[in-house]
């Protein structure tokens, strides 16, 4: 019995009975593999990981805050909060003086370690002094003294208090996610955290939402929830009264019929959108959501309610749909004076439904608007919103090849005229002279002065871009309507920066903060083609500043730890991170954002899954 097995064993070379040493080695290897599997399983246990972090913090006998000045910027990370603060103006100890001066505060974030194939989530608080150019880090120890490490959360600052809501914690193997719905408040004068009570009827846990401060409220829109089995996107607009920590649902939410939006009456559910407030009006721009592959593509023309893009026949270019995901390029506005409850301490849902009119208005896309792209960033500067970066993925060879184009161009949305135009980040004296001459020619042709939108005219008169490999010069066309000038008719895709200008490489998910006229940019992400033909993400940690009033060129504050080799294979960018004077050849590779209205017959191009 069993002879067949013995015969086959004898027919194999070296089929002798294993030695004791070989058996021991085999057992050791088996035990190591089993331990590795157990370790990986433990790493994916979100509850255990968070409990371990809490236990580590609780080892301190009493709550402590340690502030240390650091010589280098924070390490590479994505999806951190990056907010500007005017400074507390007081403090004589390391903790109380941490945010005494004008600064930018960075909290949390995550980084994917390619070598170890692991994700690390951060919880430290960093401060960058904008007047001195120095960094500091605050570490908190003690039981429940600070928020858990997280990414894709949101922060706002009101009266020297920083409020933090939501976000996510990712297991090292990216197998599981935990979405937070906790609310924290940091006193920036004392550097002390306080966890506020979780509201029973407040928003659910989420990531990728966007928040902005408005007259004692934190206004929140959108976000998503992913438990590994299903993904939900939200169209809810919430208002948090910051003094009383009371939440009010302003619009959206399928669970409340009185406040739920009818199809086409508000922005579709989405995450990673951009929000800003000007003169009591909330603006929501862009974003991302994922649909099931079975969803009908024709939903793009259905009028724009929840669950579809929200386009109409004349604005079909407001989105790109590939079955898996939709990148939005639509803009909506909401009158917060009418939407917010009359009582200062907030109101119930019933009171809001009966006393407030929640009415979204869609903003028609006009001027030189950027095309649909994921992972862009926006900040409000005076009467315009400044837009930077993003990524567009294009399928080629029948979907077998996916080409990612990362942008480093600037656009502005003028709030008074509701029009888009490109911003030139660097203008030379020669270009200024050419612009003055061309403007004079235009005024002579029109027979009267052109309506003064200085930045729009400057950016549009001598713009060059690359479209399908050919350099094209865009032009301004003028006509009169009721004795007033002039319409910018074509949509170029890049600014006026000379080829050798030093500026950030194209990227998505960059972090922006504005202080005065200074626009600070930190990090972001690009994807490059590896040696084996696979795509890999490169998290950036360079640091830049641009005066958006003067537009006299980007200045690099920190080069970052990534190298030119990290970016090798990044389409359209040959940018050396080791030399400030090296050629920045991506000046013309800033994309060919051609006017979609002139290319209506082109099929929509697919977009990536980017929703944080």
In the prediction, which pLDDT does 37 show?
A: 47
Instruction: From 270, 278, 171, select the one nearest 222 (Cα to Cα).
Output: 270
In the prediction, which pLDDT does 324 show?
A: 64
Regarding whether 210 and 183 lie in a shared domain, the answer is: no
Regarding whether 430 and 330 lie in a shared domain, the answer is: no
In the prediction, which pLDDT does 290 show?
A: 83
Q: What band does 225 get if pLDDT is binned at 50, 70 and 90?
A: very high
Cβ atoms of residues 79 and 509 within 8 Å:
yes
> How far is the C-alpha of 161 from the C-alpha of 190, rounded, in Å?
10
Q: Is residue 396 part of a domain?
A: no
In the prediction, which pLDDT does 227 show?
A: 84
Regarding whether 431 and 305 lie in a shared domain, the answer is: no
The mean pLDDT value for 325-332 works out to: 90
Q: Is residue 339 part of a domain?
A: yes
Q: Is residue 543 part of a domain?
A: yes
Boundary residue ending a domain (198, 216, 240):
198
Q: Is residue 41 part of a domain?
A: no
Domain residue limits at 119: 55-198
Q: Which two tokens stand for residue 226?
A: 């992913």
Q: Is residue 388 part of a domain?
A: no
Q: What band does 558 get if pLDDT is binned at 50, 70 and 90?
A: very high
Boundary residue ending a domain (146, 173, 198):
198
> How far is the C-alpha of 212 from the C-alpha of 156, rounded, in Å?
6
Q: Is residue 4 part of a domain?
A: no
Q: What band does 119 get if pLDDT is binned at 50, 70 and 90?
A: very high
Regarding whether 543 and 423 lie in a shared domain, the answer is: yes
Q: Highest mean pLDDT range out of 182-196, 228-242, 560-574?
A: 182-196
Instruction: From 491, 497, 454, 496, select the one nearest 475 (Cα to Cα).
Output: 491
- Looking at the structure of the chain, the number of domains it has is 3
For strands 319-321 and 325-335, give the pairing.
Answer: antiparallel
Query: What does DSSP assign to residue 484?
Result: B
> Is the confidence at residue 464, as pLDDT, over 70?
no
Span 570-599, pLDDT tens digits: 544 444 444 444 444 443 334 344 344 333
**Which stretches within 44-190 are classed as H helix?**
46-58
User: Of all residues in the chain, what percent carry a pLDDT higher than 70?
Assistant: 61
> Is the confidence at residue 601, as pLDDT, over 50?
no
Regarding whether 226 and 262 lie in a shared domain, the answer is: yes
In the prediction, which pLDDT does 32 show?
A: 55
Regarding whether 190 and 222 lie in a shared domain, the answer is: no
> Is the confidence at residue 509, as pLDDT, over 50?
yes
Q: Is residue 513 part of a domain?
A: yes
Lowest mean pLDDT among 30-34, 108-112, 187-191, 490-494: 490-494
Q: Highest mean pLDDT range out of 93-97, 308-312, 497-501, 605-609?
A: 93-97
User: Of all residues in the chain, what percent carry a pLDDT higher than 90?
Assistant: 47
In the prediction, which pLDDT does 326 show?
A: 84
Regarding whether 562 and 594 lie in a shared domain, the answer is: yes
The mean pLDDT value for 285-297 works out to: 71
> Is the confidence at residue 291, as pLDDT, over 50?
yes
Q: Which two tokens stand for residue 540?
A: 């950036």
> Is the confidence at residue 21, as pLDDT, over 80?
no
Span 361-408, pLDDT tens digits: 999 999 999 988 989 999 999 999 999 999 887 766 666 666 778 999
Q: Is pLDDT larger for residue 466 or for residue 412?
A: 412
Lowest mean pLDDT among 134-138, 271-275, 575-579: 575-579
Instruction: From 235, 289, 239, 296, select the one nearest 266 (Cα to Cα).
Output: 235
The mean pLDDT value for 159-175 works out to: 95
> Is the confidence at residue 534, as pLDDT, over 50?
yes
Boundary residue ending a domain (198, 229, 253):
198
> Is the confidence at residue 189, as pLDDT, over 90?
yes
Regarding whether 559 and 483 lie in a shared domain, the answer is: yes
The mean pLDDT value for 351-358 works out to: 53
Q: Is residue 36 part of a domain?
A: no
Cβ atoms of residues 435 and 458 within 8 Å:
yes
Regarding whether 298 and 182 lie in a shared domain, the answer is: no
Lowest mean pLDDT among 424-428, 487-491, 606-610: 487-491
Q: Please report, in angstroms and rounded to a whole number, the separation of the first and last CA atoms in the chain.
A: 63
Regarding whether 192 and 210 lie in a shared domain, the answer is: no
Q: Tell me the Cα Rg of the chain.
A: 27
Distance of CA 195 to the CA centre of its chain: 26
Regarding whether 210 and 194 lie in a shared domain, the answer is: no
Q: Is pLDDT larger for residue 124 or for residue 230?
A: 124
**Phi, psi for residue 49 in degrees, rounded to 5:** -65, -45
Span 410-462, pLDDT tens digits: 999 999 999 999 998 776 554 555 555 556 665 665 555 544 444 444 444 43
Regarding whether 313 and 211 lie in a shared domain, the answer is: yes
Q: Average pLDDT, whole number, for the chain?
A: 75
Q: Is pLDDT larger for residue 460 or for residue 74?
A: 74
In the prediction, which pLDDT does 13 show?
A: 41
């Amino acid at each position: 019995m069993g002879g067949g097995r013995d015969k086959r064993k004898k027919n194999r070379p070296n089929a002798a009975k294993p030695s004791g040493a070989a058996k021991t080695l085999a057992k050791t290897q088996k035990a190591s593999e089993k331990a590795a599997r157990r370790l990986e399983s433990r790493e994916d246990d979100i509850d255990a990981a968070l409990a371990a972090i809490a236990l580590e913090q609780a080892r301190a006998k009493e709550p402590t805050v340690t502030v240390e000045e650091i010589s280098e910027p924070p390490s590479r990370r994505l999806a951190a909060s990056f907010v500007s603060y005017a400074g507390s103006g007081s403090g004589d100890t390391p903790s109380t003086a941490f945010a005494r001066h004008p600064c930018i505060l960075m909290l949390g974030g995550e980084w994917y370690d390619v070598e170890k194939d692991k994700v690390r989530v951060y919880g430290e608080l960093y401060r960058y002094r904008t007047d001195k150019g120095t960094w500091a880090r605050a570490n908190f120890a003690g039981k429940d003294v600070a928020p858990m490490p997280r990414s894709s959360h949101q922060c706002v600052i009101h009266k020297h208090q920083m409020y933090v809501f939501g976000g996510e914690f990712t297991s090292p193997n990216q197998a599981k996610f935990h979405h937070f719905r906790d609310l924290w408040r940091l006193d920036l004068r004392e550097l002390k955290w306080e966890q506020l009570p979780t509201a029973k009827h407040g928003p659910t846990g989420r990531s990728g939402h966007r928040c902005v401060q408005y007259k004692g409220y934190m206004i929140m829109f959108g976000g998503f929830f992913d438990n590994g089995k299903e993904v939900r996107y939200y169209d809810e607009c919430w208002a948090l009264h910051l003094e009383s920590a009371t939440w009010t649902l302003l619009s959206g939410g399928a669970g409340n019929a009185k406040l739920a939006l009818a199809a086409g009456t508000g922005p579709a559910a989405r995450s990673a959108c951009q929000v800003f407030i000007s003169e009591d009006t909330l603006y929501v721009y862009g974003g991302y959501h994922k649909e099931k592959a079975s969803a009908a593509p024709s939903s793009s023309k259905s009028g724009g309610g929840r669950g579809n893009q929200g386009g109409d026949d004349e604005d079909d270019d407001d989105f790109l749909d590939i079955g898996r995901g939709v990148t939005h390029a639509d803009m909506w506005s909401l009158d917060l004076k009418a939407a917010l409850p009359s009582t200062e301490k907030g109101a119930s849902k019933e009171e809001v439904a009966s006393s407030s009119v929640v009415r979204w208005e869609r903003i028609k896309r006009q001027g030189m608007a950027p095309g649909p792209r994921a992972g862009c960033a926006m900040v409000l500067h005076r009467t315009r919103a400044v837009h930077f970066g993003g990524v567009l993925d294009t399928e080629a060879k029948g979907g077998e090849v996916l080409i990612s184009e990362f942008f480093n161009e600037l656009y502005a949305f003028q709030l008074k005229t509701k029009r888009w135009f490109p911003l030139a980040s660097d203008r030379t004296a020669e270009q200024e002279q050419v612009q003055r001459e061309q403007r004079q020619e235009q005024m002579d042709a029109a027979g009267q002065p052109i309506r003064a939108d200085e930045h729009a005219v400057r950016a549009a008169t001598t713009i060059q871009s690359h479209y399908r490999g050919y350099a094209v010069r865009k032009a301004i066309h003028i006509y009169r309507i009721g004795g007033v000038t002039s319409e910018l008719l074509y949509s170029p895709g890049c600014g006026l920066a000379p080829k050798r200008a030093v500026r950030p490489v194209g990227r998505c998910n960059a972090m922006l903060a504005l202080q005065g006229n200074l626009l600070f940019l930190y990090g972001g992400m690009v994807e490059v083609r590896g040696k084996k033909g696979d795509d890999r993400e490169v998290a950036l940690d360079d640091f830049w500043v641009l005066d958006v009033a003067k537009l006299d060129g980007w200045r690099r504050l920190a080069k970052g730890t990534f190298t030119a080799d990290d970016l090798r294979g990044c389409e359209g960018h040959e940018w050396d991170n080791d030399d400030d004077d090296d050629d920045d050849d991506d000046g013309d590779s800033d994309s060919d954002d051609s006017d979609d209205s002139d290319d209506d017959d082109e099929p929509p191009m697919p977009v990536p899954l980017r929703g944080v």
